[in-house]
Structure 1
């Protein structure tokens, strides 16, 4: 029920801005802040508000995912799978690989991400106010999950890719280990290495997995942590660990594939396929996936992102429901996805289909069949989509199935980087142009931080 959704408390928005922001808080808000940080209910509300920060359009309400998908396009209409047709200059820079340091959307992703990290740190720092030790343990685990999710996407967007064949001492992102209460203090700090950020993410998720319950409502549970671990290990090319984690989620989480591909999307309560979803309400924000992918009549902008025939041609079966899960906007003739047509529908962050794809890929790479054969896992997804089953399957076909199943859900650039692919014939997987700049506001305030190459 929508009445059970996460609400963004005004007090959280007032107190916990990004590390770069200088807030003007009126006396009443100062009074509320003091009370919030001294009561058990206040700390519980802050954790609730931390989830709500994730739901904002700047990050997991949609723009983190849209950015990751636009970075994976060539910027050339004839060769791109998805064409940017919107008016946002910041997104056009991502699409055309012409980003600048004052790109407003890059800035908002950075600052809102650190707002979530800081809010989670405040929960951890003040956990002594929680009287029930069991509840306190779970709250810390939830805060660790949130931080791991955010740090993981920060390091994937703002740093050069993790490469399992080398020592990953390239600059990652700033690690903030404790809460910041005084935004007038000097917060200058250099970025930690990519390797150190990944270690932090994995440690946080292992703690979350150990301490979270199997059922935690629509909040993060232990299998959300394990599923995110599978994604992290896959990005590291740690295929044995990714295989183990994804197999556990498939076998133990209680999740199942939705009966049809359509059923996996556009709902306002968690479905059986959801491992973790962002709850969107009129109180917490808007669904930026719908905003940028949807037509006006479903609450979007008319289709900022248009599906091109180059994407449709990747399907081997014309009857594949994933190929045909789109519509033509009558107002402008653009082909748009049906994945995002509910303005206040939840945003899928982790769904079970991804775990099957991870298990299939890892089993293929390792020549194993843990849980099931790669062929069985891929055909399970194809059967649901009413696509002709394969008689055999190669690693290349498994990677293509990821594109067919997970398109427009924020995976594209990360898969290109981890598989060392290229975008068209122009952009190599480790190109400087595929990494966000450190925002100008951050470099203005943080005198120790190093800008990315090329900016």
Structure 2
């Protein structure tokens, strides 16, 4: 690997900061390059700092990735015309708008922060892999953990942009700024290698004070998703069965229990990023244009209603405020992530999951908009506006069951696929007559999976990815009716990918060498 440079040290140092749970270490404010990573603790601090970048608003801290994986599909839309969510959700995005940042959320912010994680991961692997100051077992685990983080980010990058710069060595910023795009297949091969190494060397689970770190099963689920996108159905099925049969995770008896804020590390959740209130981020002087790294989540505020929008009868607003106050609650959010018109109208009335996905009446007050209470936290004391401690769920086991059902159906037909979808449906309905599926053709089962993933995983940042890999995004969106936007009129075939932001193109013209159209946006 290439020689390390001082910029890399500075970057790692300033990415580290203190926070609760597994990010407990006090970072060193100034660490001399010649002594940094002199111990396992030094390396762990660098890993913690890398996790912190994932918590930025541009990725998992607010709705950074949600913009790309949910907005502009058929589940979520805002309750008003808002500029910073409109370009992607309404398919009006262009290279210049990709640079426009609000609350450190833009296409550009997401691009930069995903590559910041990769930059860190490459440096940590280079600094740790042969570091004899660290014992063999923790050294291997640290390399496996950051290999997973690198794979995660490259996976997102290929999902969002396809071909992209790809490097796994420690490069200078000047070298990075001249990299052309690498084809998606090559990047995915590297991602799979990282995931396989991570799964082989990460633990099944962590002690309570370490929860929030990615286990081997987080690596396994991404690997399964990649196989499915490649239509390698048997490999995907085998990986899903490995997770179902060998992981410590299990389905909970009811859907509501999965989203209980008092049980954020329940057995169904494969990976969840932990957040803590009242812990602000720090500025990274090595990357002055990048987002702040924080540890308090903004995301629930995007799903929480705001009082000025509710209730439907505005004369009852004071009464609603008082009713909420008596419970220690408030409609103190933004309402910029609500159930879409299409989703609310089609969600089955007899589905027990409906009450957490479609809330149009609260405390007896009829609401203007249908909200998704599965991501709510209205408690003023424990979860104030834009300062929530709620974890960000990334992957859960129900997703794996539905993935296995799809793989089995695509590989062999529906005969043995029912066994995977039935545990999900049986907890979603009162009677067997309601949840039982029988006698479906392969196409019929395929369409049942389309719907089941929609109802079960709503708002969990899977929908556009699913619609794109199924090849039906354009058809679905064309038939949508939105409240404020017209995505059905604006969407074009190239909208399955994002444009590389204009600022990146101006700094690195090599990004246009392999594709002068910039994913069709030119």
1:259-338 aligned at under 5 Å gives the runs 259-267=253-261, 269-282=264-277, 283=279, 284-296=294-306, 301-316=333-348, 318-325=349-356, 326-328=358-360, 333-338=368-373
Q: How far apart, in 1, do the equivalents of 2:457 and 2:496 lie?
A: 20
Q: Secondary structure at the match of 2:421?
A: helix
Unaligned stretches of 5+ in structure 2? Answer: 1-9, 17-27, 280-293, 307-328, 378-387, 479-487, 513-517
Q: Secondary structure at the match of 1:230?
A: helix
Q: Secondary structure at the match of 1:89?
A: coil
- The residue number in structure 2 matching 1:164 is none
1:448 aligned to which of 507, 510, 521: 510
- Tell me, yes or no, if the aligned pair for 1:11 and 1:33 is still in contact at 8 Å: no
Tell me if 1:257 matches 2:233.
Answer: no
Measured at CA, do residues 430 and 203 of structure 1 come closer, stay the same or move farther in structure 2, by a change above 3 Å? farther
- The residue number in structure 1 matching 2:86 is 92
Q: Please, what is the CA RMSD of the aligned residues?
A: 2.8
- Tell me, yes or no, if the aligned pair for 2:254 and 2:427 is still in contact at 8 Å: yes
- The residue number in structure 2 matching 1:174 is 165
Measured at CA, do residues 438 and 230 of structure 1 come closer, stay the same or move farther in structure 2, by a change above 3 Å? same
Q: How big is the shift at 1:72?
A: 3.5
**Residues 356-388 of structure 1 deviation map (CA, whole Å, 9 limit, x = unaligned):** 00111111112268xx93223222112222352
**Residues 263-315 of structure 1 deviation map (CA, whole Å, 9 limit, x = unaligned):** 21253641100111111123343334313222245686331022134213434
Q: Secondary structure at the match of 2:368?
A: coil
- Tell me, yes or no, if the aligned pair for 1:233 and 1:242 is still in contact at 8 Å: yes
- The residue number in structure 1 matching 2:148 is 145
- Tell me, yes or no, if the aligned pair for 1:124 and 1:143 is still in contact at 8 Å: yes
Measured at CA, do residues 33 and 92 of structure 1 come closer, stay the same or move farther in structure 2, by a change above 3 Å? farther
Q: How big is the shift at 1:319?
A: 2.4
- Tell me, yes or no, if the aligned pair for 1:417 and 1:430 is still in contact at 8 Å: no
Q: How far apart, in 1, do the equivalents of 2:346 and 2:367 lie?
A: 24
**Residues 312-339 of structure 1 deviation map (CA, whole Å, 9 limit, x = unaligned):** 34344x2212222142477972211012
- Tell me, yes or no, if the aligned pair for 2:72 and 2:91 is still in contact at 8 Å: no
Q: When the two structures are superposed, what TM-score results if normalisation uses the length of structure 2?
A: 0.73
Q: How far apart, in 2, do the equivalents of 1:381 and 1:223 lie?
A: 20
Q: How far apart, in 1, do the equivalents of 2:150 and 2:428 lie?
A: 34
Q: How far apart, in 1, do the equivalents of 2:366 and 2:13 lie?
A: 37
Measured at CA, do residues 149 and 405 of structure 1 come closer, stay the same or move farther in structure 2, by a change above 3 Å? same
- Tell me, yes or no, if the aligned pair for 1:416 and 1:429 is still in contact at 8 Å: no
- The residue number in structure 2 matching 1:375 is 418
Unaligned stretches of 5+ in structure 1? Answer: 1-9, 17-27, 74-79, 160-171
Measured at CA, do residues 202 and 298 of structure 1 come closer, stay the same or move farther in structure 2, by a change above 3 Å? farther
Q: Secondary structure at the match of 2:426?
A: helix
1:230 aligned to which of 217, 224, 230: 224
Measured at CA, do residues 309 and 200 of structure 1 come closer, stay the same or move farther in structure 2, by a change above 3 Å? same
Measured at CA, do residues 184 and 309 of structure 1 come closer, stay the same or move farther in structure 2, by a change above 3 Å? closer
Q: Secondary structure at the match of 2:395?
A: strand
- Tell me, yes or no, if the aligned pair for 2:148 and 2:194 is still in contact at 8 Å: yes
- The residue number in structure 1 matching 2:376 is 341
**Residues 80-126 of structure 1 deviation map (CA, whole Å, 9 limit, x = unaligned):** 54322356523110011011222431011111111111111121011
Q: How far apart, in 2, do the equivalents of 1:365 and 1:205 lie?
A: 24
Q: How big is the shift at 1:411?
A: 0.9
1:385 aligned to which of 409, 428, 445: 428
1:181-200 aligned at under 5 Å gives the runs 182-183=172-173, 187-200=177-190
The structure with the largest alpha-carbon Rg is 2
- The residue number in structure 1 matching 2:310 is none
Q: When the two structures are superposed, what TM-score results if normalisation uses the length of structure 1?
A: 0.83
Higher deviation after alignment, 230-239 or 144-153: 230-239
Q: How big is the shift at 1:31?
A: 4.4
Q: How far apart, in 2, do the equivalents of 1:58 and 1:324 lie?
A: 29
Q: How far apart, in 1, do the equivalents of 2:94 and 2:437 lie?
A: 48
Measured at CA, do residues 378 and 202 of structure 1 come closer, stay the same or move farther in structure 2, by a change above 3 Å? same
Q: How far apart, in 2, do the equivalents of 1:62 and 1:266 lie?
A: 19
- The residue number in structure 2 matching 1:437 is 499
Q: How far apart, in 2, do the equivalents of 1:427 and 1:88 lie?
A: 18
Runs of 4+ with >4 A deviation: 10-13, 28-35, 296-300, 329-332, 426-430
Q: How far apart, in 1, do the equivalents of 2:493 and 2:234 lie?
A: 28
Measured at CA, do residues 110 and 183 of structure 1 come closer, stay the same or move farther in structure 2, by a change above 3 Å? same
Q: Secondary structure at the match of 1:245?
A: helix
Instruction: Report the count of equivalent residues.
Output: 413
- The residue number in structure 1 matching 2:7 is none
Q: How big is the shift at 1:29?
A: 5.1
Q: How far apart, in 2, do the equivalents of 1:374 and 1:186 lie?
A: 46
Measured at CA, do residues 224 and 428 of structure 1 come closer, stay the same or move farther in structure 2, by a change above 3 Å? farther
- Tell me, yes or no, if the aligned pair for 1:65 and 1:408 is still in contact at 8 Å: no
